[in-house]
């Protein structure tokens, strides 16, 4: 299992220029490889192989006047850019065949120097090293790093990223053993169902309600003012570039706060529960409604992804049930389906058994029951607990109560 440990970098002025040069060279090689592939497709010829592209676009290009500056950066960065093209086309063809999960992917496109995010990747062949608390990168120098935690093992590769807010990050790729990680988190016999929402970010089957922080909503006033300032700046001016950077930094703060909230909550749920049940959500569909901004602000997909990899890492069980399961329509006490209810109904009384339910808590209990939670803390199968039949349910289907079939 591979994990990424991201740390903030603080390059000086000369190192920023060297990184900008590396970003540009990697981008040029990527675009040249995409162009070579497209030209071969237009001419109805076989796609050039990676070795041929490496020889033509890197080795031979360095000898020309037009591409001589490719020699100013590490060759590993350029080779990794070619591998990125190979991966992009491989994923594109797998998506066309239906062999890849997720939405359909488009054909790889050219990268622009105006892209908000730039990145390069150094592998072990680049001979980078960590010396004196700094990250020493070839042809860039020893860059200052803000170490927030120690690395558990030696990284296999180091992508360096510059985001839209102008910040630099080193993302160390670490190979971990899930079996060893599972021993660091003791087992528990607790299981939980989670109902995700907007009023409350999550409602647990034990009745706990976790409020939605609404990070984007809280920052809207500040973002609106920054957007207005940007609209008054002349296009192409330095002041407009500064205003754009100000907006990007404001959005970065919102993103970082949301990610920190997701990490803390997912870690807490994983540590306290052996089995976790959630409901699959059509985020793309909900994003086309009037609740789109609130849906994106909640970040459900990101949160569930964190639960998935943390459950796999620490030996927990995560079960996802279908979103068409009538969790909000079924009484968690007697199991009778009471029919759909509008969203403004937050509390209802079961017509069959008279139990009073909080809509979200009832849904969380039904999610836990429907999931079955696959395995318990001791590894035995777990199924929904049997419920006594109510008076209205007695008798065989198709016969009125009191006229049971013999």
Element containing residue 79 per DSSP (H, E): helix 75-97
- Per-residue CA distances from 2 to 120, 177, 309, 312, 324 (Å): 19, 9, 10, 11, 33
- Per-residue CA distances from 151 to 70, 156, 353 (Å): 32, 12, 56
Q: Both tokens of residue 347?
A: 């509390």
3-class secondary structure, 192: strand
Cβ neighbours of residue 230 closer than 8 Å, sequence gap 6 or more: 240, 243, 244, 246, 247
Residue 277: which of 328, 203, 214 has the closest Cα?
203
Rounded Cα distance between 19 and 21, Å, is: 5
End-to-end CA, the chain: 59
The residues that are catalytic are 195, 279, 360
Cβ neighbours of residue 44 closer than 8 Å, sequence gap 6 or more: none
- Per-residue CA distances from 177 to 97, 156, 180, 194, 263 (Å): 32, 14, 5, 28, 20
Residue 331: which of 373, 374, 375, 363 has the closest Cα?
363
Element containing residue 144 per DSSP (H, E): strand 141-146
């Amino acid at each position: 299992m591979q994990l990424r440990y991201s740390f903030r970098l603080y390059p000086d002025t000369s190192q920023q220029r060297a990184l900008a040069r590396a970003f540009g060279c990697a981008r040029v090689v990527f675009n040249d490889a995409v162009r070579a592939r497209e030209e071969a497709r237009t001419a109805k010829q076989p796609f050039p192989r990676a070795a041929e592209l490496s020889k033509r676009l890197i080795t031979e290009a360095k000898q020309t006047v037009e591409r001589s500056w490719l020699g100013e950066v590490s060759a590993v960065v350029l080779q990794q850019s070619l591998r990125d093209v190979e991966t992009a086309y491989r994923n594109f063809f797998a998506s066309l065949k239906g062999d890849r999960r997720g939405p359909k992917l488009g054909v790889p496109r050219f990268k622009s120097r105006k892209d908000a995010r730039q990145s390069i990747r150094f592998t072990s062949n680049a001979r980078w090293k960590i010396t004196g608390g700094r990250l020493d990168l070839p042809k860039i120098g020893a860059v200052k790093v803000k170490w927030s935690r120690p690395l558990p093992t030696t990284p296999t590769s180091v992508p360096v990223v510059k985001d839209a807010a102008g910040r630099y990050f080193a993302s160390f790729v670490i190979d971990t053993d899930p079996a060893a990680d599972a021993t660091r988190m003791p087992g528990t016999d607790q299981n939980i169902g989670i109902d995700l929402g907007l009023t409350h970010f999550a409602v647990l089957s034990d009745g706990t309600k976790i409020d939605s922080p609404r990070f984007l909503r809280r920052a809207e006033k500040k973002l609106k003012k920054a957007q207005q300032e940007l609209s008054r700046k002349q296009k192409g001016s330095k002041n407009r570039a500064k205003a754009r950077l100000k907006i990007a930094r404001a959005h970065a703060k919102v993103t970082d706060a949301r990610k920190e909230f997701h990490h803390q909550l997912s870690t807490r749920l994983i540590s306290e529960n052996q089995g976790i049940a959630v409901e699959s959500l059509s985020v793309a569909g909900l994003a086309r409604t009037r609740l789109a901004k609130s849906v994106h602000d909640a970040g459900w997909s990101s949160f569930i992804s964190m639960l998935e990899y943390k459950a796999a890492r620490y030996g927990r069980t995560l079960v996802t049930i279908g979103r068409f399961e009538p969790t909000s329509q079924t009484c968690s006490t007697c199991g009778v389906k009471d029919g759909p209810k509008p969203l403004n109904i937050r509390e209802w009384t079961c017509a069959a058994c008279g139990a009073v339910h909080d809509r979200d808590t009832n849904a969380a209990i039904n999610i836990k029951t429907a999931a079955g939670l696959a395995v318990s803390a001791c590894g035995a199968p777990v199924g929904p607990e049997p419920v006594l039949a109510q008076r209205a349910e007695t008798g065989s289907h198709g016969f009125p109560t009191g006229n049971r079939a013999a």
